[in-house]
Structure 1
Amino acid sequence: MAITYIESPSTDPAFNLALEEYVFKNLPRDKTYFMLWQNDNAIIVGRHQNTAEEVNAVYVSEHNIKVVRRLSGGGAVYHDLGNLNYTFIADAKDAQVIDLQYFCLPLIRALEKLGVHAGMQGRNDIVIDGKKFSGNSQYIKDDRIMHHGTILFDSDLSVLSEALKADPEKFESKGVKSVRNRVTNLRPYLPEGTTLKQFREALLANMTEGEELETYTLSPADLMGVQKIRQGRYELWDWNYGVSPDYTVRRSKRFPSCGLVELRIQVVEGRIANLAVFGDFIGNGDADELAGELKGCRMERRALTAVLELIPVSWYFFDVSSEELVDLILL
């Protein structure tokens, strides 16, 4: 069967995940589709994960990292322009029993031809010298399968480790937690001087070896369809954060001006359902009054700021600003 190659015109994560979904749902099912694409500065969380539990919210905000939820399961991953992603979309009668390795092996074979000896570890990771450089996941529906994977080519691993650094002891939830593995970039294992462009071209040539390759150019109608999905799902806070499993989070900080403030926050569908305040802090007002004002508010900086800017926070927590309280809630 011929393989149809589609190249994304964008590095926006919401667009690229929408493009995957569009191809999966709308393009003819008698073809197998292969895509190479990149996201700029993004965290992609798994379908069943608690977004707040996976990301370092303060770091993500300070570094303008986009957070988007994908359709498939698995753990959270960091993408930048040193990372290359690939996708296979195909029909499969018994898709529910297809092993992830079926779609990982072409990448392993392609790397072998480039002089890189990689192998599978566990169910969905590809490793070199025991270090993960590619994670994979799948989405299956109506006898159709979408397999996608990441390739750490030359990513900023320091940003990766900070952006995904969330404290599991501060959360109690039923969300699927990511497993942090030792990771490595692929570039040091390739011939010296290999660029991402060269690797991309070599990968495309080898990944489809033995199969006829045809290129599909997205039409204006296709792009309109992608944008509709993007705006209706992947740009929405309700999808990226709100569909997270319910959870309870604990926050605490000792402010020099007022003392220790401890928060117990129950979050349902991404919004504050209950907020209890404890600590040895000093203030004039009843902190439960302030907590009541935050019920129903999204666990998101803009929404929290909009509420707290209308409240004299320092009346409840001496000399603490609304911005400092937002930082504590999202710590």
Structure 2
Amino acid sequence: MIYIDNEGVTDPHVNLAIEEHCIRHLPEGEDYLLFYINAPSIIIGRNQNTLEEIHQAYIDAQGIHVVRRISGGGAVYHDHGNLNFSFMTDFSKNKLNNFKEFATPIIEVLNGMGVAAEMKGRNDIVVGDKKISGNAQFSSTKRMFNHGTLLLDCDLSQVSQALDVKMTKIQSKGHKSSRARVANIVEFLDAPLSTEAFKEKLLAGLFPAGVERQTYRLTAEDWASINALVEEKYRRWDWNYGRSPAFDIQRTRHFAAGIIDFRLKVKRGGTVENVKIYGDFFGQRPVSDIENALIGVRYDKDEIEAALKGFDLYAYFGDVDRGEFIDLIYGPDEV
């Protein structure tokens, strides 16, 4: 097994691009191990509706990244207290969905550190009834990887808030995350440990004395490919949000002008396909003008604001605050 040095990168867009580049371009017939630590971020599963998983207003306020990965499974929170591992190997039907095979070496090292970790369910590593790691897989016809989180000393308050969905009645065909009780590994250690020191302990356990540890260092050509992947995919709204399955949203709010009820259909690709506005408000102009202005617009707050910039909302609804009106279409629910 060859260890891949990611050179201390903590940008989740780059780390996910490194992982994808390596699984697609490094030589077949070799097994690789990649560790990486991400800055605060929500990592969305390949088949999920991003908006159904996150509290967008909180994420914006906290500067948390939102990035979609190429593997399936649920949304997870990463920060500097979380260590991510990725085992890369040739594709095998016996390894597909066999999360235990990949997790066992990690579990054995944790056990050696005094952490009573074990595999439970399909893809979780737990201590008692608390989850400390979730795993997911990606496979092509020739190669595959199994990657997972290791919650060492993660800010669990951020987990609950960043993944706390605040939008009403989202109905989609995406795979919704299930939330489990989680804990930090540091709770089960005798003394605190930095994430880098934790990584080194894992490496020492996975490559014990007498086992040669080869290290692969990314070349200039590798970095050129990785950086192109970052810009063409992992930093793009189209990938992180627009790849969400088609979904419907119903949003209702009480304004001084009355009740406004928005029904939106967003197609795969993230653009608004249909809009209907209902309510008991009084307006001079037909709301079909607003509905038509939003059709074809990307379901993104800035895009929605731009589409409605030239409209006098008072003429359509009466006394409504523009910011609150935009929040009705795209924003957190009222508390």
- Assess same fold via TM > 0.5: yes
Offset of 1:4 from its aligned partner?
2.8
The answer to whether the 8 A contact 2:99-2:122 is kept is yes
Unaligned ranges ≥5, structure 1: none
- Give secondary structure in 2 for the equivalent of 1:216: strand
Q: 2:174, 2:192 → 1: CA distance?
A: 42
1:292 is aligned to 2:289: no
Q: 2:11, 2:96 → 1: CA distance?
A: 32
- Give secondary structure in 1 for the equivalent of 2:240: helix
Q: 2:87, 2:74 → 1: CA distance?
A: 19
Q: Which residue of 2 aligns with 1:46?
A: 45
With 315-324 and 33-42 compared, the bigger mean Cα shift is at 315-324
- Give secondary structure in 2 for the equivalent of 1:242: coil
1:178 is aligned to 2:166: no
The answer to whether the 8 A contact 1:3-1:212 is kept is no
Aligned pair in 2 of structure 1 residues 168, 301: CA closer, same or farther (>3 Å)?
closer
1:109 is aligned to 2:108: yes
Q: Which residue of 2 aligns with 1:28?
A: 27
Q: 2:285, 2:135 → 1: CA distance?
A: 51
The answer to whether the 8 A contact 1:100-1:123 is kept is yes
- How does 1:252-291 map onto structure 2 within 5 Å? 252-255=252-255, 257-269=256-268, 270-291=270-291
1:9 is aligned to 2:8: yes
Q: Which residue of 2 aligns with 1:328?
A: 328
Q: 1:158, 1:201 → 2: CA distance?
A: 27
Unaligned ranges ≥5, structure 2: none
Q: Which residue of 2 aligns with 1:206?
A: 205
Q: 2:211, 2:143 → 1: CA distance?
A: 20
Offset of 1:253 from its aligned partner?
1.4
Q: 1:326, 1:236 → 2: CA distance?
A: 23
Q: TM-score, normalised by structure 2?
A: 0.93
Offset of 1:211 from its aligned partner?
4.4
The answer to whether the 8 A contact 1:5-1:213 is kept is no
Q: 1:235, 1:116 → 2: CA distance?
A: 37
Offset of 1:96 from its aligned partner?
6.0
- Give secondary structure in 2 for the equivalent of 1:145: strand
String of CA shifts for 1:132-179, please: whole Å, max 9, x gaps. Answer: 111100001123111110111111111111111115861111111101
Offset of 1:195 from its aligned partner?
2.3
Q: Which residue of 1 aligns with 2:220?
A: 220
Aligned pair in 2 of structure 1 residues 8, 178: CA closer, same or farther (>3 Å)?
farther
The answer to whether the 8 A contact 2:89-2:143 is kept is yes
Q: Partner amino acid for 2:320?
A: V
- How does 1:224-263 map onto structure 2 within 5 Å? 224-255=224-255, 257-263=256-262
Offset of 1:111 from its aligned partner?
0.5
Offset of 1:103 from its aligned partner?
0.7
Q: Partner amino acid for 2:87?
A: F
Q: Which residue of 1 aligns with 2:319?
A: 319
Q: 1:261, 1:139 → 2: CA distance?
A: 43
- Give secondary structure in 1 for the equivalent of 2:323: helix
Q: Which residue of 1 aligns with 2:61?
A: 62
With 42-51 and 5-14 compared, the bigger mean Cα shift is at 5-14
Offset of 1:309 from its aligned partner?
1.9
Q: 1:261, 1:215 → 2: CA distance?
A: 60
The answer to whether the 8 A contact 1:73-1:138 is kept is yes
Q: Which residue of 2 aligns with 1:134?
A: 133
The answer to whether the 8 A contact 2:2-2:216 is kept is no
Aligned pair in 2 of structure 1 residues 157, 283: CA closer, same or farther (>3 Å)?
farther
Q: Partner amino acid for 1:323?
A: G
Quote the RMSD (CA, aligned, Å).
1.8
- Give secondary structure in 1 for the equivalent of 2:217: coil
Offset of 1:67 from its aligned partner?
1.2
With 163-172 and 133-142 compared, the bigger mean Cα shift is at 163-172
With 44-53 and 214-223 compared, the bigger mean Cα shift is at 214-223
Q: Partner amino acid for 1:173?
A: S
The answer to whether the 8 A contact 1:54-1:164 is kept is yes
Q: Partner amino acid for 1:141?
A: S
Q: Partner amino acid for 2:164?
A: K
Q: 2:207, 2:264 → 1: CA distance?
A: 50
Offset of 1:8 from its aligned partner?
4.3
**Count of equivalent residues:** 329
Q: Give the ranges of 4+ consecutive aligned residues of structure 1 lying more than 4 Å apart after TM superposition.
A: none
The answer to whether the 8 A contact 1:116-1:189 is kept is yes
- Give secondary structure in 2 for the equivalent of 1:306: helix
Q: 2:257, 2:65 → 1: CA distance?
A: 34
Q: Partner amino acid for 1:82?
A: G
Q: Partner amino acid for 1:4?
A: Y
Q: Which residue of 2 aligns with 1:160?
A: 159
Q: Partner amino acid for 1:229?
A: L
Q: 1:289, 1:182 → 2: CA distance?
A: 47
1:189 is aligned to 2:170: no
Aligned pair in 2 of structure 1 residues 35, 240: CA closer, same or farther (>3 Å)?
same
